[in-house]
Amino acid sequence: MNTATPWKQLLLHALESNTHVKHSSFFQLATVGANGKPANRTVVFRGFQEETDKIQINTDCRTEKIEDLKYCPFSEICWYFTDSWEQFRINGRIDIIDGSNSDTIKLQQREQSWFASSLKSRLQYMGPDPGIPSITEESSEVFSLDPLAGPVNAFCLLVLDPDQVDYLNLKTNTRLAYRCSRNLNGQKSWTPERINP
């Protein structure tokens, strides 16, 4: 990867300066389904893959977003930092890494993301299928999980590989568009362009 990813430095700085705001690690993920309609939901930032600009998201493989991404792997996330008045719109392709993936490196990344999550977060993947009608008013079933056990089947790692970033700073009235190009070896380089807010 190109060592200097200018928008990533802006994002890391925004995360650091908004760390006291609990919702600063949440952003919106938009997809398009087979019906041609958009869908949007809030997800949690799980960090960058090591030494890359790829963004990690944990999810349940039984959710509708997985079907959307199988239909159209391109997505956009939108992140707004309320204290610093900064918005990041990051566009790219999402790789779905579930337990059936044949790539051992990707399976290791999935496992690392699983163990980086809290036990409470991991327990969410033990529940009934999300999005279907609930049989009872309250869930009476109590799930237990060995803290040392690897990812359950429902756990899925999504990896967004950015190719375009739109950065807006409302305090300074600055807007930058970053576009990605790749050389023959697949290495990225980013070109920034100042655009009207």
Q: How far does CA 25 lie from the centroid of its chain?
A: 10
Q: What is the CA radius of gyration of the chain?
A: 18
* Residue 163 falls in which region: left (phi positive, over 0), alpha (psi -120 to 50) or beta: alpha
More confident residue, 88 or 5: 88
**Average pLDDT of the chain to the nearest whole number:** 92
Phi, psi values for residue 182, rounded to 5°: -125, 145
- The domains of the chain, with CATH numbers, are 6-129+145-195 (2.30.110.10)
Cβ atoms within 10 A of the Cβ of 111, count?
A: 16
Question: 91 pLDDT band (50/70/90 cuts)?
Answer: very high
Tell me: pLDDT of 1 over 60: no
Tell me: pLDDT of 83 over 70: yes
For residue 2, the model assigns a pLDDT of 42
Q: Which long-range contacts (CB under 8 A, 24 or more apart) does 103-107 make?
A: 106/157
Residue 104 near residue 110, CB atoms below 8 Å: no
Rounded CA separation 129/33 (Å): 19
Q: Give pLDDT tens digits for 171-191.
A: 999 999 999 999 988 889 999
Percent of the chain with pLDDT over 70: 94
Rounded CA separation 134/128 (Å): 9
Closest CA to 165 of 81, 77, 86, 85: 77
Kindly report the pTM of this predicted structure: 0.90
Q: Give pLDDT tens digits for 7-56.
A: 999 999 999 999 999 999 999 999 999 999 999 999 999 999 998 999 99
